[in-house]
Amino acid sequence: MSLLTHPLIKNGWFKEVNNESFPGQAFSLRVSKILYAEKSKYQDVLVFKSTDFGNVLVLDGIIQCTERDEFAYQEMITHVAMFAHGNAKKVLIIGGGDGGVLREVVKHPSVETATLVEIDDMVIRIAKKYLPNMSCSFENDKVNVVLTDGFKFLKQVAMDSGRYDVIITDSSDPEGPAEAFFQKDYFQLLYNALAPNGVVISMASENIWLNINKLGHLRKVANEVFPVAKISNCTIPTYTSGQIALLCCSKDPQLDVSKPSRALPRDQEIKLFKYYNSQIHQASFILPTWADQIIYERAGC
């Protein structure tokens, strides 16, 4: 058996460094073993076992998830949207090939169908093999997997508008196959594919500490399409700056996505979720003063 190598792993450490996305800083994880290293049709795919964060999936050099902290992101991107809506029956996931969002979506008894649209089937295969706790819901009866480009899929869906209650865009960063998911056209497609009281949530790629003007711009673009567009902040140590912003939008101008429409009793929350609860749902939308000023373009900033 040949020993796998990867250019970003040197002297037993994986170093995440990108002079355009996050210049002058780098995050490293110690590698126990490289499990997989291939180029798919769309991206560079790397999986390694880390010494302290479990298995790690890396796409195009950027950490997508580690077994130790993935629950934070998966739970927040899913349940903030699901509880903001309150009774989602038809759910669409764009991206999310690792299965983590799917695992969270099917925890909601209201869900009748969960459709996952992933461009790169290598991500799904890799997750099934190396991230079993994330990919555990692909066989669920409510789940439908479509292997195609999310943008194209939504264009087709838009013909038959008003279809989904919640749409979750769990993409990689805009540099690469996910580029189109950060444009106004995409938000318009999401809008068209939603039921009248529908909610969307997207991985915003940036965070308030990294490139806040870009994040503010993204929210503004979404707000040109959706009457409600707010930023939620999720802590997760293996993402750059230890956090990731989520952009949550509602088609109904009366629906404040920062408040759950429905909350479970605390004992249920404890059973079902490690990170999410109805209080942190609301707290995640409260931003530090400077960030709030820039993101919502308030006077005085």
Active site positions, annotated: 170
Stretch that binds a second copy, among 126-134, 179-187, 206-214, 217-225 (CB under 8 A): 206-214
Ramachandran quadrant class, 285 (left: phi over 0; alpha: psi -120 to 50; beta: rest): alpha
The pair of structure tokens assigned to 98 is: 């690792």
# chain residues binding a second copy, by CB under 8 A: 50
Residue 14 near residue 5, CB atoms below 8 Å: no
Residue 226: CB minimum distance to a second copy, A? 23
Question: Exactly one of 183, 209, 220, 263 binds a second copy (CB under 8 A); which one?
Answer: 209
Residue 208: CB minimum distance to a second copy, A? 8
Residues 210-239 contacting a second copy, CB under 8 A: 210, 233, 235, 237-238
Question: Exactly one of 161, 184, 274, 297 binds a second copy (CB under 8 A); which one?
Answer: 274
The smaller minimum CB distance to a second copy, of residues 147 and 286, is found at 286
Stretch that binds a second copy, among 12-20, 86-94, 111-119, 156-164 (CB under 8 A): 12-20
What distance in Å separates the CA atoms of residue 113 and residue 144, rounded to the nearest whole number? 7
Residue 14: CB minimum distance to a second copy, A? 10
Residues 23-82 contacting a second copy, CB under 8 A: 23-30, 50-53, 69, 72
CB burial of residue 188 (10 Å; 0-12, 13-18, 19+) = middle
Q: Which pairing describes strands 164-170 and 90-95: parallel, antiparallel, or unpaired?
A: parallel
The smaller minimum CB distance to a second copy, of residues 49 and 155, is found at 49
Bridge partner list, 246: 203, 232
Which of 74, 70, 118, 110 minimizes the C-alpha distance to 92?
Answer: 118
What distance in Å separates the CA atoms of residue 84 and residue 81, rounded to the nearest whole number? 5
Residue 38: CB minimum distance to a second copy, A? 24
Residues 147-176 contacting a second copy, CB under 8 A: none
Amino acid at 288: P
Residue 247 near residue 219, CB atoms below 8 Å: yes
CA 156 to chain centre: 22
Interface residues with a second copy (CB under 8 A) are: 13, 15, 17, 23-30, 50-53, 69, 72, 208-210, 233, 235, 237-238, 240-243, 267, 269-270, 273-277, 279-280, 282-284, 286-290, 292-293, 300-301
